[in-house]
Amino acid sequence: MAMMRLRREDPRVVGSFRLHRRLGAGGMGVVYLGSDRRGQRVALKVIRPDLAEDQEFRSRFAREVSAARRIRGGCTARLVAADLEADRPWFATQYVPGPSLHDKVAEDGPLTAAEVASVGSALSEGLVAVHEAGVVHRDLKPSNILLSPKGPRIIDFGIAWATGASTLTHVGTAVGSPGFLAPEQVRGAAVTPATDVFSLGATLAYAAMGDSPFGHGSSEVMLYRVVHEEAQLAGVPDALAPLVRACLAKDPEERPSTLQLSLRLKEIAAREAQGLGAVDTRPPAPRRTPDRQGAERSTGRLADTRQDRDRDRDRTAEHAAQRTRRAPGTPPPSRTNGTGRRTAPPRTGGRSGSRPAPRSNGGRTAPPRTTSTGRRGPANPRLLRQRLIVFVVVTLLVALGIAAAQGCQGPARGLEQSSPQGAVTTAAAATDARSLGSAP
């Protein structure tokens, strides 16, 4: 907030507060930066000398103090002290550091869609607390919103009024700021919470465009546009334009409530913030299934969508089933790992821990079969039959050799005792039997 030096006519001490700088001046008085004896900083508002004798302005000032006391929550500056009976009535609130929304936009330009939605959500939530206290602000505008580090704060309840009260101070004069007044305020009808909703819509439009939605001109021209012409929202982001237009409806019954505004603006702020965090800073488009061929041409890989992943999974399963159903003895086709890349063939060799070399089968070599999960599958049925036949033949030969050896032991004993030649014959038979038993 811009600060100015104290002028010669400005007081130096008000109540128990010492004044240091000027923070601003309005239609009712001047706001100063002050501090108490403990060093707590306050924003102290003193009514103008020429208005101090006007009972109407004293009453309006008293309403502002009463409204500040009734409102609970962090949406407004907390009331610290007040003196309504002084020669120049004053009250002090907690000092809120930070520029006004008006100054922020004037210096840095319009806010982004995410920033506008975030500020609007906090203001809507603050207005819920204001209206629950039975108060209507009636003068919500960019200069009455302070952007503190802890969130926006609503200030200046100088013309705040109870719900249902008239907006006219004198016949034919509307109280408030042209361009941000609601049509019912201009007509002199009763104010309601919907009155602040209209002002909030005009404030959000200003934050997004950097200008009033009803343009510029004299007070009479601006008030006429508010009542009879539609707001110009050409510069408002598409994500916010429908909601802002609903707030600026001429009929109060057609405007959304502050609670509905708060919830909707939170959703928009979250969505827009995610869009700002992405590589592409444009507002996020609706989620659509990308063209598969176009994605492959641009990125060289499959589009990363749920439909494409399911389709690839189904194709992988179908290929695995086709390999399982393939005729025996037919070498399997080249395999893929589910991503479209060809897998390398299994390594073979004599090193410890390596996979066994493929077995010979009629002059052809068939690599070991594996399933789609990488485990070894069932062997070739033809190879199993051949192994079984070899095993049976070898077993029969061994059995015959053992039987022959046992049959020759009886007759040979007599021959061993009668002649050396019999011993030689017996030894030769035993040798033949052992040879038959060890034959494969």
What's 12's domain CATH number? Answer: 3.30.200.20
Is residue 73 domain-shared with residue 163, that is, in the same domain?
no
What percent of the chain shows pLDDT beyond 70? 64
Across 229-249, average pLDDT: 95
Q: Is the pLDDT of residue 353 over 80?
A: no
Domain with 419 in it: 393-438
| β partners of residue 104 | none
Same domain, 82 and 176: no
What mean pLDDT comes out for the span 75-86? 88
Check whether residue 76 and residue 130 sit in a common domain.
no
Q: Could you tell me if residue 304 is inside a domain?
A: no
Whether 75 and 116 share a structural domain: no
* Confidence class for position 64, pLDDT limits 50, 70, 90: confident
Quote the pLDDT of residue 313: 64
User: Domain boundary residue among 44, 79, 95?
Assistant: 95
pLDDT at 411 over 80: no
What phi, psi does 125 have (nearest 5°)? -65, -35
Report, as an integer, the average pLDDT of 45-55. Answer: 86
With respect to residue 114, please indicate whether it lies within any of the assigned structural domains. Answer: yes
Please say if 251 is a catalytic residue: no
The region of weakest confidence among 117-131, 306-320, 423-437 is 423-437
pLDDT-derived band at 135, boundaries 50, 70, 90: confident
What is the average pLDDT across 355-360? 46
Residues 158 and 79 sit within 8 Å (Cβ to Cβ):
no
Whether the pLDDT of residue 268 is over 80: the answer is: yes
Predicted pLDDT of residue 312: 60
Q: Which of 103, 139, 238, 291 is catalytic?
A: 139
**Residue range 137-141: mean pLDDT, rounded:** 90
Same domain, 103 and 24: no
Tell me the range of 136-145, 349-358, 403-412 where mean pLDDT is highest: 136-145
Q: How many CB atoms are located within 10 Å of the residue 64 CB?
A: 20
The Cβ-side half-sphere exposure at 440, using a 13 Å CA radius, reads: 3
**How buried is residue 88: exposed, middle or buried, by Cβ count under 10 Å (0-12/13-18/19+)?**
middle
The residue written with tokens 């200069």 in the block is 143
pLDDT band for position 385 (cuts 50, 70, 90): confident
**Residue with structure tokens 């070739």?**
380
Mark whether 51 and 104 lie in a shared domain: no
**How far does CA 208 lie from the centroid of its chain?**
22
Residues 79 and 212 in one domain: no
Tell me how far apart the alpha carbons of residues 61 and 55 are, in angstroms, rounded to a whole number: 10
Strand intervals (E) in 329-395: 360-361, 364-365
How is residue 19 written in tokens? 């004044």
CATH number, domain containing residue 197: 1.10.510.10
Per-residue pLDDT reduced to its tens digit, 154-172: 988 755 444 444 443 333 3
Residue 417 lies in a domain: yes
> Rounded to a whole number, what is the largest CA-CA distance in the chain?
160
Domain presence at residue 59 = yes
**Domain total in the chain:** 3
CA separation for the pair 358, 29 (Å, rounded): 99
Q: Where residue 307 falls among pLDDT bands split at 50, 70, 90?
A: low
Clarify whether residues 135 and 68 are in a common domain. no
Which of 51-55, 148-152, 426-430 shows the lowest mean pLDDT across its residues? 426-430
The residue that leads in pLDDT, 199 or 277, is: 199
User: Is residue 126 domain-shared with residue 269, that is, in the same domain?
Assistant: yes
pLDDT value, residue 416: 45
53 DSSP β-pair partners: none
Q: Are 237 and 243 in contact (CB under 8 A)?
A: no
Question: With 50 as the cut, is the pLDDT of residue 339 above it?
Answer: no
> According to the model, what pLDDT value does residue 431 have?
43
Lowest mean pLDDT among 16-20, 145-149, 211-215, 297-301: 297-301
Asked whether residue 369 is domain-assigned, the answer is no
Helical packing angle, 113-132 and 258-277, nearest 10°: 160
Poorest-confidence range of 52-66, 139-153, 375-389, 414-428? 414-428
- Residue where a domain terminates, one of 95, 113, 132: 95
How many CB atoms neighbour CB 287 within 10 A? 6
Q: Please tell me which residue, 180 or 281, carries the higher pLDDT value.
A: 180
In-domain check, residue 368:
no
Average pLDDT over the chain, rounded to an integer? 74
Task: Indicate whether 283 pLDDT > 50.
Answer: no
Q: What whole-number distance in Å separates Cα of residue 260 and Cα of residue 194?
A: 12
Say whether 33 sits in a helix, a strand or coil: strand
Q: To which H or E segment does residue 93 belong?
A: strand 90-94
CB–CB of 1/98 below 8 Å?
yes
Alpha helical stretches, state H, 173-257: 183-187, 193-209, 219-228, 241-247
Which of these three, 232, 260, 278, is where a domain ends? 278
Is the model's pTM score more than 0.85?
A: no
Same domain, 267 and 404: no
For the ranges 125-139, 185-199, 326-340, the one whose mean pLDDT is highest: 185-199
Q: Among 8, 10, 57, which Cα is nearest to 31's?
A: 10
Q: Cβ(157)–Cβ(45) under 8 Å?
A: no
